[in-house]
Amino acid sequence: MSAEARARAAYAAAVGSSGPPRPTPAARPPAPGKTARGTAAPAALPDMQLPRRRRPDFEQARSHEYPDHLREAAAALPAAPGVYVFHGEEGDLPLYIGKSVNLRARVLSHLRNPDEARMLRQTRRISHVRTAGEIGALLLEARLIKQQHPLLNQKLRRNRQLCSLRLREGVPEVVYSKDIDFATEPQLYGLYASRHAALEALRALADAQRLCYGVLGLEKLAPGRACFRAMLRQCAGACRGDESRQDHQARLLGSLEALRVACWPYAGAVGLVERDGAERQIHVVRNWCYLGSVADEAQARALDTVAAGFDADGYKILCRPILGGTAEIIPL
């Protein structure tokens, strides 16, 4: 074997199968502009500079750092239930109001996305109100949001068009809390922010249960004709006699039962007691409306003089602990 052949063999053994392929002596190179099979060769790609790959975790860590002027205030918060407020410039509306069973941990966790980081950069100070438990924190948060209108809270702002569904001669109608007292009116179903939302909920219920839009008053029926949904088998046919009106009404009532608004179960105000170690609070409630929190029964009875109307947020917060029997209740 010649020296050149030995060198080639040594090189092939060193690079193995990962080395660059070498054409056999018998292979003929393709003509210019052609591949080995005779098709046109693709044009050469121009050299391009690939952008450097960024590390998103490093970028977020750099932009989402807790502001230095808030670190001390946040660290000083108690690890206990309560409500916290992020304040902007003096005289402006609060930026955000929140609640937690652990104020310190919750406030320090406000760095989950760019929006929260931006809010913290606008915050000048943090205040808080201690409560004796989660129910008190939820009630106080809802009240403060309605009173102070923070810029970044939307869901718990006061709704002046609160409405519900009520059956009138077997047909659902939309009624408003400004016209009737939702705390004492029986046979109300669902709480909605607008008439449109109430009717959309009724349509969704009809779709799920194959109820008739015409019988429910959601659309007008031509005399002697069935509704369009009956032809599509989306209606059980109460409009054309396939189902009796009594059966249709029974199915409607059964479907609405899960949405029933509970009436206030007491003759007047009550105190809901919460404890957290040595901390004790009595939350005064009447007609599902939160009147305030005090330390003893005498102060609680004094709060009962405050006018109270139905409050949807109070209802959602208090319904389960009061009706479920899990809360300690004091008659006032």
pLDDT at 16 over 80: no
13: in domain: no
Task: Read off the pLDDT of residues 107-130 as tens digits, 9 standing for 90 and up.
Answer: 988 877 788 888 988 999 999 999
Q: Which of 26-30, 184-188, 210-214, 322-326 has the lowest mean pLDDT?
A: 26-30
C-alpha 201/C-alpha 213 separation (Å) is: 12
Task: Judge if 179 and 124 occupy the same domain.
Answer: no
Domain hosting 106: range is 57-148
50: in domain: no
20: in domain: no
Task: Read off the pLDDT of residues 124-152 as tens digits, 9 standing for 90 and up.
Answer: 999 999 999 999 999 999 999 999 999 98
Task: Judge if 276 and 227 occupy the same domain.
Answer: no
Cβ atoms 264, 315 nearer than 8 A: no
41: in domain: no
Predicted local distance difference test score (pLDDT) of residue 28? 56
Cβ atoms 142, 98 nearer than 8 A: no
Tell which of 228, 259, 290 closes a domain.
259
Task: Read off the pLDDT of residues 24-82 as tens digits, 9 standing for 90 and up.
Answer: 455 455 555 555 455 555 454 444 454 555 444 434 444 567 788 888 889 899 999 99
| Number of domains within the chain | 3
Predicted TM-score of the model (pTM): 0.74
Going from the C-alpha of 311 to that of each of 162, 264, 304, the distances in angstroms are: 9, 11, 16
Task: Judge if 173 and 255 occupy the same domain.
Answer: yes
200: in domain: yes
Predicted local distance difference test score (pLDDT) of residue 5? 56
C-alpha 203/C-alpha 192 separation (Å) is: 14
36: in domain: no
In which band, very low, low, confident or very high, does the pLDDT at 240 lie, cut at 50, 70 and 90? confident
320: in domain: yes
Local structure of 216: helix, strand or coil: helix
Evaluate the CA torsion angle 321, 175, 147, 125 in order and state its sign: positive
Predicted local distance difference test score (pLDDT) of residue 14? 46
Evaluate the CA torsion angle 54, 60, 61, 65 in order and state its sign: positive
45: in domain: no
Task: Judge if 291 and 327 occupy the same domain.
Answer: yes
Task: Judge if 170 and 228 occupy the same domain.
Answer: yes
CATH number at residue 63: 3.40.1440.10
Predicted local distance difference test score (pLDDT) of residue 158? 60
Predicted local distance difference test score (pLDDT) of residue 160? 67
